[in-house]
């Protein structure tokens, strides 16, 4: 357990480093954070903190920078969450007042506002909700050969799954098929439709015609079951505002990972554990871009998780601000969508 003064000093180092991106010196700490003791004293403490693994020194005549372990300690125990300014709250609220009619736009707006307010790259994940109930299945004929399947669930709409039509279905056939499909699918959970055969046995001989159609819809639902998330980023160029990413190779690494959906999904997969706020620091997370951390908050609507929203940026990012931004936005979304 760290002494009280060590904790104060460690917090000072992290706070200062987050702000300045420069190694923090003993004098600096005395001037700005601990005016009641001398630099020499602080140096002794710093030296101790270093040997405990909380600090590192780039070279002997430089100040200290916090290690990954220090940031972990900082977010877990030391930092004091910074409430949003009235101005910031106003800006955010304004964004949400121009309520967007469709979900995609809402997701984009949320991503944009988070990135604008925090000045980090934001990442919003929208669950496709395998735990949702199917409300309606509609097959819309596009031409003789193909059709569009629209599946409506409680919270979302899956469209744009184009399927080939069995040849022997004319317009009337589709109408009947639609009726039948709705009887079969409606009220079931998306996740329930995992095994074709279970329900397949329910199908009476009369409807053998639709067997083909049925199979295809199940496939779509399965697909949605697997890759059940959509991921959106905003403000990816924000990373270049931070001096540690003025190195082209690091910037490239960051941007490339951001574009690789699979990497990004892995980083923002917060399914393990059920915390409202997840913070992953540096190499704690596999495939994290070099020198980065992420913060992600669950988005709940009526107590059901519909996705998550967060940011990714340099390890020394402003956690205390980000946390309150994400909390506030989470609440707003819940309020907004619960009302509907």
Partner DNA sequence: TTTAGCAGTCGATTAGTTTGAGTGCTAACA
Partner DNA sequence: TGTTAGCACTCAAACTAATCGACTGCTAAA
Binding site for DNA (CB under 7 A): 22-23, 25-28, 36-41, 43-44, 46-47, 50, 57-64
Picked from DNA, a second copy, none, the partner binding residue 289 (CB below 5 to 8 A depending on kind) is none
Distance of closest approach, residue 16 Cβ to DNA, in angstroms: 10
Q: How far apart are CA 308 and CA 140, in angstroms?
A: 32
For 340, the token pair is: 């509907």
Nearer to a second copy, 62 or 240 (CB): 240
β-bridge mates for residue 121, sequence order = 312
Residue partners of 84: CB distance under 8 A and separation at least 6: 92, 324, 325, 328
Footprint of a second copy on 180-239 (CB under 8 A): 234-237
**Are the CB atoms for 191 and 227 separated by under 8 Å?**
no
Instruction: Pick one of a second copy, DNA, none as the site partner of residue 62 (Cβ within 5 to 8 A by kind).
Output: DNA
* Partner in contact with 161, chosen from DNA, a second copy, none, beta carbon below 5 to 8 Å by kind: a second copy
**Interacting residue with a second copy among 138, 191, 225, 324 (CB under 8 A):** 138
Closest contact distance (angstroms) between CB of 225 and DNA is 52
- Is 259 near a second copy (CB under 8 A)? yes
| Pairing, β 292-301 against β 304-314 | antiparallel
Out of 5, 6, 8, 136, which residue is the one contacting a second copy (CB under 8 A)?
136
Q: Which residues contact 308 (CB under 8 A, 6 or more apart)?
A: 124, 125, 268, 270, 278, 296, 297, 298, 299
- Residue 50 site contact among a second copy, DNA, none (CB < 5 to 8 Å, cut-off depends on kind): DNA
Residue 191 interacting entry, from a second copy, DNA, none, C-beta within 5 to 8 Å by type = none
Q: What is the layout of strands, in order, in the sheet containing 146-153?
A: 134-141, 146-153, 157-164
Closer CB to a second copy, residue 10 or residue 151?
151
Q: Interface with a second copy includes 2 (CB under 8 A)?
A: no
If you write DSSP's letter for every residue of 96-125 in order, what string do you get? Answer: HHS--SSHHHHHHHHHHHHHHHH-SEEEEE
- How far is residue 236's CA from residue 233's CA, in Å, rounded to a whole number? 7
Residue 10 beta carbon to DNA: minimum distance, rounded to whole angstroms: 14
Phi and psi (nearest 5°) for 149? -105, 120
Q: Could you give the CA distance from residue 296 to residue 322 in angstroms, rounded to a whole number?
A: 9
Residue 46 binds which of DNA, a second copy, none (CB < 5-8 A, kind-dependent): DNA
Footprint of a second copy on this chain (CB under 8 A)? Answer: 101-104, 135-136, 138, 140-143, 145-146, 148, 150, 152, 157, 159-163, 234-237, 240-241, 246, 248, 251-252, 255-256, 258-259, 340
């Amino acid at each position: 357990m760290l002494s009280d003064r060590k904790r104060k000093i460690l917090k000072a180092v992290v706070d200062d480093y987050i702000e300045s991106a420069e190694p923090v010196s003993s004098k600096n700490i005395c001037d700005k954070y601990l005016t009641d003791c001398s630099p020499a004293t602080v140096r002794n403490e710093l030296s101790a903190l270093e040997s405990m693994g909380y600090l590192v020194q780039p070279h002997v005549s430089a100040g200290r920078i916090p290690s990954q372990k220090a940031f972990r300690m900082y977010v877990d125990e030391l930092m004091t969450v910074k409430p949003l300014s009235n101005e910031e709250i106003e800006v955010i609220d304004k964004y949400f007042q121009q309520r967007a009619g469709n979900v995609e736009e809402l997701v984009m707006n949320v991503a944009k506002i988070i990135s604008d307010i925090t000045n980090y790259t934001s990442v919003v994940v929208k669950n496709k909700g395998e735990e949702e109930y199917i409300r309606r299945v509609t097959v819309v004929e596009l031409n003789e050969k193909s059709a569009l399947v629209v599946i409506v669930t409680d919270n979302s709409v899956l469209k744009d799954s184009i399927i080939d039509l069995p040849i022997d279905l004319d317009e009337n056939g589709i109408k009947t098929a639609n009726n039948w499909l709705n009887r079969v699918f409606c009220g079931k959970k998306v996740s329930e439709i995992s095994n074709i055969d279970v329900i397949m046995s329910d199908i009476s001989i009369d409807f053998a015609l639709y067997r083909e159609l049925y199979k295809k819809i199940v496939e779509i639902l399965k697909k949605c079951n697997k890759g059940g998330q959509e991921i959106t980023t905003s403000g990816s160029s924000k990373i270049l505002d931070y001096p540690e990413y003025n190195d082209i190779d690091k910037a490239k690494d960051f941007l490339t990972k951001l574009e690789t959906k699979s990497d990004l999904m892995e980083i923002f997969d917060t399914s393990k554990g059920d915390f409202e706020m997840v913070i992953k620091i540096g190499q704690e997370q596999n495939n994290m871009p070099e020198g980065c951390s992420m913060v992600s908050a669950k988005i709940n609507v009526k107590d059901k998780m519909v996705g998550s929203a967060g940011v990714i940026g340099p390890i020394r990012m402003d956690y205390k601000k980000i946390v309150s931004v994400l909390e506030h936005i989470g609440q707003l979304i819940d309020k907004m969508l619960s009302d509907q």
